[in-house]
């Protein structure tokens, strides 16, 4: 997956395909509502995928939600296609764990 920084127009197109993800400067974030132990299990699944694709999110686990923040460190902390690919993978894992949209 490409790790070249994306222009703003392309970032907007990718975000339109990933409801729930929000741009925060040069990162995208999403929070899922899920109980603590379910969140731990979801994070383990995400970590397995991250290892396979060679890209990772910053993860914040709380008692009732998990927040993911994604940017490409190797691209100077800018958004790349790899970030949006990982976000889509996280969405699929979250759905499998029955995580819900969370109002952070």
Overall fold of domain 8-101: Gyrase A; domain 2 (3.30.1360)
Q: How confident is the model at residue 2 (pLDDT cuts 50, 70, 90)?
A: low
Residue that is written with structure tokens 């994070």 in the block: 43
> What pLDDT, in 10s, does the model give residues 39-60?
999 999 999 999 999 999 999 9
Q: What b-and-e string marks burial along 55-72, b requiring 16 or more CB atoms within 10 Å of the CB?
A: bebebeeeeebbbbebbb
Residue 61 backbone phi and psi in degrees, to 5? -100, 130
> What percent of the chain stands above pLDDT 90?
91
pTM over 0.85, yes/no: yes
User: How far is Cα 96 from Cα 104, in angstroms, rounded to an integer?
Assistant: 21
Given a contact cutoff of 8 angstroms between Cβ atoms, the answer to whether 3 and 80 are in contact is yes
């Amino acid at each position: 997956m490409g790790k070249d920084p994306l222009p703003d127009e392309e970032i907007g197109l990718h975000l339109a395909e990933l409801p729930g993800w929000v741009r925060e400067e040069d990162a995208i974030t999403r929070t899922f509502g899920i109980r603590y132990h379910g969140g731990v299990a979801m994070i383990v699944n995400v970590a397995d995928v991250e290892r396979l694709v060679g890209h990772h999110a910053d993860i914040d686990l709380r008692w009732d939600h998990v927040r993911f923040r994604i940017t490409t460190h190797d691209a100077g902390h800018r958004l790349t296609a790899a970030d949006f690919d990982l976000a889509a993978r996280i969405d699929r894992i979250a759905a499998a764990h029955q995580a819900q949209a969370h109002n952070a």
